[in-house]
Amino acid sequence: MNRKLLWAVILLLALGGVAIFAMRLLPSFYKEEMKLSVMLEDVKSFVVNDGMTVVYKDGIWCSQDDDYYPVNNVTVDDFFKTLKNAALHADRSVRAGGEKNQITLLLNNGDKINLWFDDENGRTDKVAAVYENESKLLYGDFVLPSQPYQWFAQPLINLDDDEIEEISGVDPHDFSFKDLIFYQVAQKADFADWMSKEIKVVLKNGVVINATIFAQGHSYWVRLNLDTSIMPTAEAYEFVKNNGFLYDGWYFELPQPIGSRLFGMDQV
């Protein structure tokens, strides 16, 4: 072997050694077999601004902090679909900072991926994904609410006011389906010492919504029960059958303005 060939072999071996050493140091975030898009397939729970932990349980996404009440699974599925698509074209970056909201993705192996973002009306077009000390910038049309309660399907009952036939227990002007949002959910609650009020809403198709409002101080909760009138339509029967599980046995915390309006300030 001549001298030039010998030096060429030595140089190649040296470069190979450096490459192997660099691959060992390269964070798993960027290894070919551990691309971000692949890591996202291993997410089974996530935390929204340290205020809600959403887990995948029995085939649906639920709020662990709300007795595993279902969150809006369409929102979650769309979020991950957009996130995975954006991850396929993500670039390594230095996180600029300034993002005020964080969602922490929890992987099965115990690792975490932090997503930092600024939202406008629950949407954003840029998310910084941080794993260990490395960051990738993702671009897309993200539906990404920053408030935990916004991950629930809101409002509490997705109906229109013009479907109402009759209301008792509250001034009809004080009741609106679209305003009936909620903050948190509990399956077991003791309201024995709270004041309560009954509201009944009958829809034109025969659906009957019985609501019990509980009030104490500036706190308001509601319990709902779905039923039908004596001669309901097929539509009413199907609505109660398909949606009853979302309300029976659950208690929902209402925002103070909504609760006080429905309960009546003079009665608190």
> Is residue 142 located within the same domain as residue 46?
yes
* Domain annotation covers residue 208: yes
Cis, bond preceding 155 (omega within 30 deg of 0): yes
* Domain annotation covers residue 14: no
Residue 134 pLDDT level (bands cut at 50, 70, 90):
confident
Q: What is the pLDDT of residue 97?
A: 64
Per-residue model confidence as pLDDT tens digits over 51-79 = 999 999 999 999 999 999 999 999 999 99
Q: In the numeric block, which tokens belong to residue 25? A: 């140091």
Give the side-chain half-sphere CA count within 13 A for 68: 7
> Is residue 160 located within the same domain as residue 263?
yes
> Is residue 251 located within the same domain as residue 199?
yes
> Is residue 133 located within the same domain as residue 55?
yes
> Is residue 56 located within the same domain as residue 79?
yes
With contact defined as beta carbons under 8 Å apart, do 124 and 137 qualify?
Answer: no
Domain count, the chain: 2
* Domain annotation covers residue 232: yes
> Is residue 177 located within the same domain as residue 68?
no
Q: Using CA atoms, how far apart are residues 43 and 39, in angstroms rounded to an integer?
A: 7
Q: Which of 150, 184, 201 is the last residue of a domain?
A: 150
> Is residue 137 located within the same domain as residue 162?
no
pTM for the predicted model, two decimal places: 0.82
Q: What is the pLDDT of residue 120?
A: 87
Look up the domain containing 203 and give its range.
154-267
Query: Is the pLDDT higher at 264 or at 138?
Result: 138
* Domain annotation covers residue 145: yes
> Is residue 144 located within the same domain as residue 46?
yes
* Domain annotation covers residue 5: no
* Domain annotation covers residue 45: yes
Per-residue model confidence as pLDDT tens digits over 171-224 = 999 999 999 999 999 998 889 999 999 999 999 999 999 999 999 999 999 999
> Is residue 227 located within the same domain as residue 159?
yes
Q: What is the pLDDT of residue 67?
A: 96
